């Protein structure tokens, strides 16, 4: 049986925005899937855009009959690709599976983008299966979008490929936050630094706006996403989003109720126990696997951390080692690929 995956040509950055897609691409290639590239039309030149679009669509035409095809979603490209996939499925009897990195209709980050919603409507129509983050997201697709539960495959955690050991001499205290530190994206960080004076924050990422009057943080700058697990310091990794510290609100904050932030995978790969919002979907994973703490507000950080005994923290790290080894080697996605292939 021929096996393909469709992904967008990408570039690696110092943030983890492309890391999840790059890693799933690598895992599929390592498991015998042939890559089919779709090229984004970056140029403003209409002739060049037309050439790139035609090249992308021609690549799709190479898919052979009765194949398994896995699509990274969303691709953020010309929506014509989804119509061509629909036609290929009808003519060549291919089995289409979409790995959902984000579902924009639900996240609502681009409320005026009708193309995104049209593409996702067709995704739901033509899919033979959706690879979703967790059981909460699966329930959302089943109840809200009427997707047959038999078509839903649970990832449980995004993998974070890395074979680098931890750097010696790292600080092993404090709460680590890694990612885009822009005030518009991560306003909670700046409020937490001021409110949680009994907690030291270890900060990694782009767009941090330093406040020299605050002494309870250390900013390490931006680090390549592939190297981060080896270089993250701290005692816990914080998974939070939105502008406030009392709850995860706003578009990205509310989305945490159903998604698995890739930041959680980074901390797992870094072998840092997690601190997560108690109402987030990832909270269930953290609690069931005993790999960290849940909080309803960041104002609880100091109290929660101080309440953990040495034995409890040791249990967190012991449980985390098993999960980290699996995430670092691609084991979560590999298990889903095995399920899909066994079902055909």
Q: What is the DSSP letter of 158?
A: -
100 Rama class: left (phi>0) / alpha (psi -120 to 50) / beta:
beta
User: Tokens for 63?
Assistant: 């898919």
- Going across the sheet that includes 68-73, the strands are 34-38, 3-8, 68-73, 95-100, 129-132, 152-154
36 pLDDT more than 90:
yes
User: Tokens for 70?
Assistant: 């896995």
11 pLDDT more than 60:
no
User: What band does 255 get if pLDDT is binned at 50, 70 and 90?
Assistant: very high
Question: What's the pLDDT score for residue 75?
Answer: 84
Query: Is residue 166 a part of any domain in this protein?
Result: no
Q: Based on the fold, state whether residues 67 and 201 are members of the same structural domain.
A: no
What's the average model confidence in pLDDT over 22-26?
Answer: 96
Q: Tell me the pTM.
A: 0.94
> Residues 133-157: pLDDT tens digits?
999 999 999 999 999 999 999 999 9
Query: Is residue 320 a part of any domain in this protein?
Result: yes
Q: Based on the fold, state whether residues 108 and 211 are members of the same structural domain.
A: no
User: What band does 323 get if pLDDT is binned at 50, 70 and 90?
Assistant: very high
CA angle, 166 then 314 then 256, to 5°: 75
- Report the domain count for the chain: 2
Q: Based on the fold, state whether residues 24 and 117 are members of the same structural domain.
A: yes
Question: What's the pLDDT score for residue 15?
Answer: 46
Question: What's the pLDDT score for residue 53?
Answer: 67
Q: Do residues 38 and 75 make contact, with C-beta atoms less than 8 angstroms apart?
A: yes
Q: Based on the fold, state whether residues 26 and 88 are members of the same structural domain.
A: yes
Q: Based on the fold, state whether residues 135 and 209 are members of the same structural domain.
A: no
Query: Is residue 167 a part of any domain in this protein?
Result: no
70 pLDDT more than 90:
yes
How far apart CA 301 and CA 198 sit, in angstroms, is 9
Question: What's the pLDDT score for residue 12?
Answer: 46
Share of the chain above pLDDT 90, in %: 79
Task: Reduce the DSSP state of residue 138 to 3 states and report it.
Answer: helix
Question: What's the pLDDT score for residue 16?
Answer: 60
Q: Based on the fold, state whether residues 268 and 192 are members of the same structural domain.
A: yes
Share of the chain above pLDDT 70, in %: 92
Question: What's the pLDDT score for residue 26?
Answer: 97
For residue 105, what is the enclosing H or E element?
A: helix 104-107
How far apart CA 29 and CA 35 sit, in angstroms, is 7
For residue 176, what is the enclosing H or E element?
A: strand 175-180
* Cis preceding linkage at 149, omega within 30: no
Query: Is residue 11 a part of any domain in this protein?
Result: yes
Query: Is residue 307 a part of any domain in this protein?
Result: yes
> Residues 99-120: pLDDT tens digits?
999 999 999 888 888 888 899 9
What's the average model confidence in pLDDT over 25-42?
Answer: 87
Query: Is residue 21 a part of any domain in this protein?
Result: yes
Q: Based on the fold, state whether residues 62 and 187 are members of the same structural domain.
A: no
What's the average model confidence in pLDDT over 242-256?
Answer: 94
> Residues 276-291: pLDDT tens digits?
999 999 999 999 999 9
User: What band does 317 get if pLDDT is binned at 50, 70 and 90?
Assistant: very high
Q: Do residues 272 and 235 make contact, with C-beta atoms less than 8 angstroms apart?
A: yes
Count of CA atoms in the C-beta half-sphere (13 A) of 125: 13
Higher-confidence residue: 133 or 54? 133
Its domain, for residue 188, covers 175-328
How far apart CA 243 and CA 220 sit, in angstroms, is 22
User: Tokens for 122?
Assistant: 């067709």
Query: Is residue 59 a part of any domain in this protein?
Result: yes
User: Tokens for 245?
Assistant: 């510290």
> Residues 180-232: pLDDT tens digits?
999 988 999 999 999 999 999 999 999 999 998 999 999 999 999 999 999 99
Q: Based on the fold, state whether residues 190 and 255 are members of the same structural domain.
A: yes
Question: What's the pLDDT score for residue 115?
Answer: 86
Q: Based on the fold, state whether residues 315 and 338 are members of the same structural domain.
A: no
Q: Based on the fold, state whether residues 146 and 283 are members of the same structural domain.
A: no
Query: Is residue 119 a part of any domain in this protein?
Result: yes
Q: Based on the fold, state whether residues 236 and 115 are members of the same structural domain.
A: no
Question: What's the pLDDT score for residue 40?
Answer: 64
User: Tokens for 46?
Assistant: 């209409």
- 22 alpha-carbon distance from chain centroid: 11
DSSP letters of 202-265?
EEEEE-----TT--SEEE-----TTTHHHH--SSEEEE--SS-SSS--HHHHHHTTT---HHHH
Domain of residue 312, CATH code: 3.40.50.2000
Q: Residue for token digits 């038999």?
A: 150
Q: Based on the fold, state whether residues 184 and 239 are members of the same structural domain.
A: yes
How far apart CA 105 and CA 130 sit, in angstroms, is 15
């Amino acid at each position: 049986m021929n096996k393909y995956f469709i992904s967008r040509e990408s570039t690696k950055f110092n943030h983890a925005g492309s890391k999840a897609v790059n890693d799933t691409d690598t895992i599929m290639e390592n498991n015998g899937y042939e890559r089919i590239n779709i090229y984004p039309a970056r140029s403003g030149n209409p002739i060049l855009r037309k050439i790139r679009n035609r090249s992308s669509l021609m690549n799709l035409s190479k898919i052979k009959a009765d194949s398994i095809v896995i699509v990274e979603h969303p691709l953020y490209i010309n929506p014509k690709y989804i119509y061509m996939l629909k036609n290929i499925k009808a003519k060549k009897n291919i089995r289409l599976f979409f790995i959902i990195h984000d579902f924009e209709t639900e996240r609502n980050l681009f409320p005026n983008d009708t193309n995104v919603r049209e593409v996702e409507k067709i995704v739901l129509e033509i899919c033979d299966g959706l690879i979703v983050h967790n059981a909460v997201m699966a329930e959302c697709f089943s109840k809200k979008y009427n997707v047959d539960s038999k078509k839903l495959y649970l990832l449980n955690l995004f993998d974070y490929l890395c074979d680098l050991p931890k750097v010696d001499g790292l600080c092993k205290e404090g709460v680590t936050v890694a990612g885009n530190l822009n005030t518009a994206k991560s306003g909670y960080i700046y409020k937490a630094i001021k409110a949680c004076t009994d907690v030291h924050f270890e900060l990694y990422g782009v767009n941090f706006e330093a406040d020299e009057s605050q002494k309870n943080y250390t900013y390490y700058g931006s680090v390549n996403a592939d190297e981060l697990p080896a270089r993250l310091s701290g005692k816990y990794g914080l998974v939070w989003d939105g502008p406030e510290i009392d709850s995860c609100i706003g578009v990205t904050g509310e989305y945490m109720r159903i998604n698995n932030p890739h930041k959680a995978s980074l901390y797992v790969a870094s072998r840092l126990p997690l601190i997560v919002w108690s109402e987030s979907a990832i909270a269930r994973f953290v609690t069931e696997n005993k790999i960290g703490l849940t909080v309803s507000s960041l104002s609880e950080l100091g109290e929660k951390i101080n309440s953990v005994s040495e034995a409890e923290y040791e249990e967190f790290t012991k449980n985390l080692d098993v999960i980290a080894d699996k995430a670092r080697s691609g084991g979560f996605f590999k298990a889903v690929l095995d399920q899909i292939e066994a079902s055909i």
